Amino acid sequence: MLAFLVVFRRFWQALRRNWEDPQFRGLLYLSVLLLVAGMFFYHRVEDWTLLEALYFSVLTLTTVGYGDYYPHTGAGRVFTVFYVLLGLGIVLALLAQIASGAAAAHAERSRRRRPGEVPPAPSAG
């Protein structure tokens, strides 16, 4: 349980650290918009509850796909194809930014623990 709390705390810190970046906020807003759009689409077309539709949307865009829910209508299947193709890149970009923020925070904590070490030179880029 303690390990979970540590991971959750670091995840939250990475979110706060990235919040200053407008690209991160854009990806976050776009990801939430995709999840809400998918939720309402599946709710209307597949006649799922909002919770079932959100559950399916999250599992689909994170490529987990347990298989307990799947689209039964032609419209749902066609939408899902485009939903995955569009949404997967956006969600992966968001997760990459969160991981980058977490790695930067970890590196910063490591530098603070070892005083006297010379920090690496900034890369040109």
Q: Is 65 a member of any domain?
A: yes
% pLDDT > 70, the chain: 90
Q: Is 73 a member of any domain?
A: yes
User: Could you read off the pLDDT of 51-85 as tens digits, one per residue?
Assistant: 999 999 999 998 888 889 999 999 999 999 999 99
Q: Please state, in angstroms and rounded to a whole number, the distance separating the CA atoms of residues 119 and 110.
A: 10
Q: Are 33 and 19 in contact (CB under 8 A)?
A: no
Rounded to two decimals, the pTM is: 0.74
Q: Is 25 a member of any domain?
A: yes
Residue 11 has pLDDT above 90, yes or no: no
Closest-CA residue to 37 (of 45, 89, 67, 23)? 45
Q: Is 1 a member of any domain?
A: no
Domain that holds residue 31: 18-110
| Start-to-end CA span in the chain (Å) | 41
Q: Is 68 a member of any domain?
A: yes
Q: What's the domain count of the chain?
A: 1
Lowest mean pLDDT among 7-11, 21-25, 36-40, 84-88: 7-11
- Name the one residue in this structure whose structure tokens are 């079932």: 52
Lowest mean pLDDT among 10-14, 20-24, 51-55, 119-123: 119-123
Q: Is 26 a member of any domain?
A: yes
Q: Is 76 a member of any domain?
A: yes
CATH number of domain containing 62: 1.10.287.70
Q: Is 7 a member of any domain?
A: no
